[in-house]
Amino acid sequence: MSPENLALAAEPVIRAALREDMPFGDVSCDAVVDGPRRAQVRLIAKQDGVICGIDVFERTFQLLDASAFFAADVQEGDEVRCGQDLGAVEGDVRALLSAERVALNFLQRMSGIATHARAMAALLDGTGIRLVDTRKTTPGLRVFEKEAVRVGGAGNHRFCLSDGVMLKDNHLDAAGGIMAAVAAARERAPFVRKVEVEVETLEQVAEAVEAGADIVMLDNMDRDAMAAAVRLIDGRAEVEVSGNVDERRVAELVDLGVDYVSSGALTHSSPILDLSLKHLRYL
């Protein structure tokens, strides 16, 4: 994550998480620590996976102690092994104790998504198909989850509703059909935005292409229907496949000739990567 994104987008979320966890201080820490004292604690991997969120992890401690830092022995996107020592956090012991859970929550969540994304993206290596995420993210944590998808080796679809025109079934109903919806988008949306149309039938595929859609999303179609849709589109629009895409289904899509595969599972169904802070000692 760039320093700018960390400062502008991520830091308010980190601050909110710390306020949630210690709205009136940390009574456990206050009970056993009576003043500032420098300390260090080690970050240990308890599973194999891809590490992601190092900057967010470090910044969480720094919001409680500006002098805190993470001396990392790994880099963002590195593959780590169970039992591996990943580095040490150093700072005021009170910051280490109070920020530990929030910092680990972010790091574990982002690393879990990055691990899942890398495994799924690997199934499409060499195919020319781009695996991308969706907006099915945890409210308030999208900036972290989409960054983790990117670090894992997949791509980002729209970040938010302001990013592009994506006409789904309810948009089409509201506009009076595909032709009317695409025409309205061309007239009113910024010209730099692509227009994507979600379709469920071959008849809708034909209509979306005729209407001039830039991208046609094949939603929840079976494999035969998707193959027929790709032939019907015949290069006149980019093709995205979506709908319950997991590792098993990705493997079935490699030879269809589509451009993108979008998977909500990258964010909504990724388990955390188990990590732990251990061996605290005073310096």
Place of tokens 């590792």: 247
96 vs 204: CA distance, rounded Å: 56
283 vs 265: CA distance, rounded Å: 43
DSSP string for the chain: --HHHIIIIIHHHHHHHHHHH-BTB-HHHHHH--S--EEEEEEEESS-EE---HHHHHHHHHTT-TT-EEEESS-TT-EE-TT-EEEEEEEEHHHHHHHHHHHHHHHHHHHHHHHHHHHHHHTTTTS-PEEE--S---TT-HHHHHHHHHHHT-B---SSTTS-EEE-HHHHHHHTSHHHHHHHHHHHS-TTS-EEEEESSHHHHHHHHHHT-SEEEEES--HHHHHHHHHHHTTSSEEEEESS--HHHHHTSTTS--SEEE-THHHHSPPPPPEEEEEEEE-
182 vs 24: CA distance, rounded Å: 52
192 vs 280: CA distance, rounded Å: 53
User: Which residues are marked as active site?
Assistant: 101, 136, 168, 198, 219
